[in-house]
Amino acid sequence: MKAITLYDVALLAGVSYQTVSRVINDAEHVSARTREKVQQAMAELHYVPNRGAQQLAGKRTRTLGLITTDLALHAPSQIVSAVKSRAVEKGASVLISMVEHPQQCQSALQELLAQRVEALLVNVPLDDPDAEQLKVLASPVPVLFLDVSSSAAVNSLVFNAEQGARLGVEHVLSLGHQRIALLSGPESSVSARARLAGWKTTLAQAGLEAAAVAYGDWSAASGYEKGHALLSAAALPDAILVANDQMALGVMRACAEKGVAIPGQIAIVGFDDTADSAWFSPPLTTVRQAFREAGEQSVEWLLAPTRSEACWQVQLPVTLISRQSSARRAPQQADREDLAQQLRTLALLAEKLARE
């Protein structure tokens, strides 16, 4: 079979081979329409820049490609560590491409394909159309996604975000908390949206609404900033559910600065179970996601000698780890907080009337 060349792509797309080269190299001065035509032609022809990659179906390289988000964050770094360890055990190597934005995934994909990887792992939050397009662009190289929704028509291995959210809500409800604030991850993140939806659904099933909702960027700094905002509301929340442990750390510092006792006045529940969460002060109650298991299972799938044509979709369970950042509300404490809240409300009303 004749190897597909850059000129074949140019012919199908109706552009010059120089234009195809500019698209491949992500150069400027290429219109969105032209870029889309070239990428579609590449997908239809299963073209990758390195001709040797065309032979991957018949010759294995034992090299995996991994596209990941910021390794300064706990979850991505743990996934990378697990993937590399298991790959070495299997006699394979891993090429890593880190992206700051999902829009950079296509160029990262092309770079890794040019290095003749035999399979790809994508740990970047992607909406369904973006994930499905990457799958097409990578074909025939198989791709496994770790941060997509279950509705995406791609191979995926993801944690059960809805289950984790439900466990967090049910935990604080069982402790008698009613005013529950939510600190989500970025609205652009698939997993953040899934956790937030799970929280809201479980609260609704209990006849409750969130006392407040805020959005951070996964960092401790954003948790600190949003934590101050949530703690400054007219009514102090009984509990704050946080979408990852790093933001929870920031919230806990905000509580310390405002003199809000954990868990005496407020409960904090994180998500991830980072290695450090047991050493927070107090130790953090959180939802554990088994990142090492996810990384190891990913490598097993990527290096499998054969795969089904059907999409392989697996949800990994999560567990609640109860520590000292959450506790049952004492009736006397609840009464004092209610009285304090009434006094704060009256003070705000008096201040408003004085201004008028």
Residue ending a domain, choose from 26, 47, 68: 47
Q: Do 63 and 117 meet the contact criterion of CB atoms below 8 Å apart?
A: yes
134 pLDDT higher than 90? yes
The model's confidence at residue 55, banded by pLDDT at 50, 70 and 90, is very low
More confident residue, 28 or 128: 128
- Residue 99 domain boundaries: 51-154
Q: Which residues contact 232 (CB under 8 A, 6 or more apart)?
A: none
Q: Do 199 and 182 meet the contact criterion of CB atoms below 8 Å apart?
A: yes
CATH number of the domain at 213, please: 3.40.50.2300
Q: Same domain for 110 and 258?
A: no
Report the C-alpha gap between 223 and 226 in whole angstroms. Answer: 5
Q: Do 26 and 107 meet the contact criterion of CB atoms below 8 Å apart?
A: yes
3-class secondary structure, 317? coil
Q: What is the mean pLDDT of residues 135-139?
A: 90
**Domain contains 299:** no
Task: List pLDDT tens digits, range 7-32.
Answer: 888 999 999 878 887 887 667 678 88
Q: Do 120 and 66 meet the contact criterion of CB atoms below 8 Å apart?
A: yes
Q: Same domain for 138 and 16?
A: no
Tell me how many domains the chain contains: 3
- Confidence (pLDDT) at 304: 86
Bridge partners of 144, per DSSP, are 121
Rg of the chain, C-alpha, whole Å: 24
More confident residue, 115 or 210: 210
Q: Same domain for 109 and 14?
A: no
Highest mean pLDDT among 35-44, 175-184, 331-340: 175-184
Task: List pLDDT tens digits, range 267-280.
Answer: 999 999 998 999 99
303 pLDDT higher than 80? yes
- Confidence (pLDDT) at 266: 97
Q: What is the mean pLDDT of residues 285-311?
A: 89
**Domain contains 305:** no
**Domain contains 246:** yes
3-class secondary structure, 334? helix
**Domain contains 198:** yes
Q: Do 241 and 172 meet the contact criterion of CB atoms below 8 Å apart?
A: yes
39 pLDDT higher than 90? no
57 pLDDT higher than 50? no
Q: Same domain for 109 and 63?
A: yes
- Confidence (pLDDT) at 45: 87
Peptide bond into 263 cis (omega under 30): yes
The model's confidence at residue 261, banded by pLDDT at 50, 70 and 90, is very high
Q: Same domain for 21 and 107?
A: no
Q: What is the mean pLDDT of residues 206-227?
A: 97
Task: List pLDDT tens digits, range 65-81.
Answer: 999 998 888 889 999 99
Q: Same domain for 134 and 231?
A: no
Bridge partners of 76, per DSSP, are none
1 pLDDT higher than 60? no
The model's confidence at residue 53, banded by pLDDT at 50, 70 and 90, is very low
**Domain contains 311:** no
Q: What is the mean pLDDT of residues 148-175?
A: 95
